[in-house]
Amino acid sequence: MKYLENSFLLIAIIGLFSSVPTAVFAETIEDNIIIAQNDTTQNKVVVYEVFGMDCPGCQSGLEKQVKKIEGVADAKASFIAKEVIIELKPDATVSDEEIESRIKKANFTPGKKVEAIKNEE
């Protein structure tokens, strides 16, 4: 009986957490990419390695530069992950050179393009 009660409780907890919006748990870059794939309104997302950021202040400086690019909807940088996640508007054509130029204007060094995900919707 005790085992049954515990099982019901566990199922209830899992059910409760599964109803919470996924974004709450989107703390890592990988999570963000997965959300981008599942969300039908999401745009194309590209991720770049960036070297030279050492604090949260650096993140906002880089984001400000990248958001100036025509066709960029949003940008999130992480000095811990050494990456910037760039969300492009639908049908936007932004060259790698343009993104790398903006990273350099923020006084950082672009690394390799980690991931490129295109929404099929």
- Specify the 3-state DSSP secondary structure of 13: helix
Tell me: does residue 67 bind another protein (CB under 8 A). Answer: no
The CA distance from 71 to 39, in Å, is 19
Cα–Cα nearest to 112, from 102, 100, 101: 100
The CA distance from 105 to 90, in Å, is 25
Instruction: Give the dihedral sign, CA 8/14/15/17.
Output: positive
* Choices 17-25, 31-39, 91-99, 100-108 (CB under 8 A): range interacting with another protein: 100-108
* Choices 14-22, 28-36, 54-62, 86-94 (CB under 8 A): range interacting with another protein: 54-62
Tell me: does residue 62 bind another protein (CB under 8 A). Answer: yes
* Residue nearer to another protein on the CB measure, 42 or 59: 59
Binding site for another protein (CB under 8 A): 27, 51-52, 54-57, 59-65, 80, 82, 104-109, 111
